[in-house]
A and B are shown apart, each in its own frame.
Chain A
Amino acid sequence: MNTNKNKRTILDVMDNMELELITKNVKYAEQYLEDEGFDVVEEKKFASQFIRKLQFKLEAEHKKKKYSVLLEKALDKVKKSMKGNTTFRTEDLKSLILSKAPSVQYRKLENWTDDEIRDVLKDVDLLKFIEEADEK
């Protein structure tokens, strides 16, 4: 009987099977780790902590990105209104902004920079603002 088509010895076959078993099956994997002197409970704890930390980070980044998209959308609505490109009149916009952010000093919106508008919008419920802007 020949060795298998890859011309490996039986020892190699055993090793390949071991590798396949520990890779595909968690029981074999944990057994192997234990045989090698690892504390499986400790390793699982480390893994869970790492995964949890990364999950928080990824979720926070996702929220930040989503918020950033909304902010730019709201800014776009404000700028379009200032140019008179929508039916959303500047006066309505001013009173909307003032109602959402009453601490803001009233002055000509047209003179505001993008960053100043963004700054005001940060105090605003963006989703609601965009919805209301769309309604008007």
Chain B
Amino acid sequence: MEQFQNIDSQLWSRLQSRCLYLLKKRYSVEWNLQKRQDFTREIISEVIIKIFDEKTRKWNLDRYPDFEDFILGVVDSHLNNTLKNNKHHRDESEDSVFMESDLGVEEDIMHRELRNEIYTALEEYKADDDELLIFECMAEGITKPKNIKQELGMTEKEFHNAWRRLSRKRKIIGNTIKKPKNKIGYEHK
């Protein structure tokens, strides 16, 4: 019951945006706005009810030392179960683009090609220096926002603004750039 005090509209926004993101990226769902709104509201509501009212989902401290990680886990799991029942399946191809490590050299080449392709596309879409620098950090393996900000000496506000612009371009160029093919030449979505 005391954890219920942590449930507020800000947490709701974060859970809802996560839900929405996963619908698109993980499950390739393409519903209209109304349906996405109704669905995400339903998922979050049901998760909160399961935890605090019905108590059918209990917080396992060993598995989730942090309550927020627990609630995120329940959201992901409930989303998956609901969509599975509605015959939407997780895009498993997302989970590993490359085969095992014997592709090391090819992997390097594909990474460089993809990196260049994306960089060129970003420039075409008029990405500014901040966006390109963030992109380069990620290409170099710096994948945490905190570390990127530190690396580039950016304030939170600068990073936020640049990331907003970059992520919008990511949506646009994402569909035009093909993911690398795997060993047997199967192209992933």
Interchain nearest-CB distance for B11 vs A (Å): 8
A interface, by DSSP: helix, strand, loop or mixed?
Answer: helix
A10 to chain B, nearest CB (A): 5
* Prevailing SS type, chain B contact patch: helix
Query: Is B89's CB within 8 Å of the partner chain A?
Result: no
In the complex, the answer to whether B115 meets A10 with C-beta atoms within 8 Å is yes
Chain A residues, CB < 8 A from B160: 27-28
Query: Which residues of B approach A to under 8 Å, CB–CB?
Result: 1, 4, 7-10, 12-14, 16-18, 20-22, 25, 33, 36-37, 41, 44-45, 48-49, 52-53, 72, 94, 96-98, 104, 107-108, 110-112, 114-115, 118, 135, 138-141, 143-145, 160, 163-164, 166-168, 170, 174, 177, 179-180
Q: Which positions in A face B, CB cutoff 8 Å? A: 1-4, 6-33, 35-38, 40, 43-44, 46-48, 50-51, 54-55, 57-58, 62
C-alpha spacing A129/B123, complex, angstroms: 79
Q: Are B45 and A23 in contact (CB under 8 A)?
A: no
* Set A3, A33, A47, A54: member contacting B17, Cβ < 8 A: A33
- B76 CB, nearest partner CB in chain A, Å: 10
Q: Tell me which residues across on chain B come within 8 A of A4, comparing CB atoms.
A: 141, 143
Structural contact, B145 and A32, CB atoms closer than 8 A: no
Provide the residues of chain B in CB contact with A15, threshold 8 Å.
25, 170
Instruction: Check if B12 sits within 8 Å of A14, measured CB to CB.
Output: no
A9 and B167: CB pair below 8 A? Answer: no
Complex CA distance for A38 and B23, rounded to whole angstroms: 15
User: A54-B49, A58-B1 known; A11 and B12 CB under 8 Å?
Assistant: no
Given A20-B145, A28-B160, A37-B33: A44 and B13 interface contact (C-beta under 8 Å)? yes
Residue from the list B21, B94, B135 in contact with A12, Cβ < 8 A: B94
* CA–CA, A30 and B9, complex, Å: 11
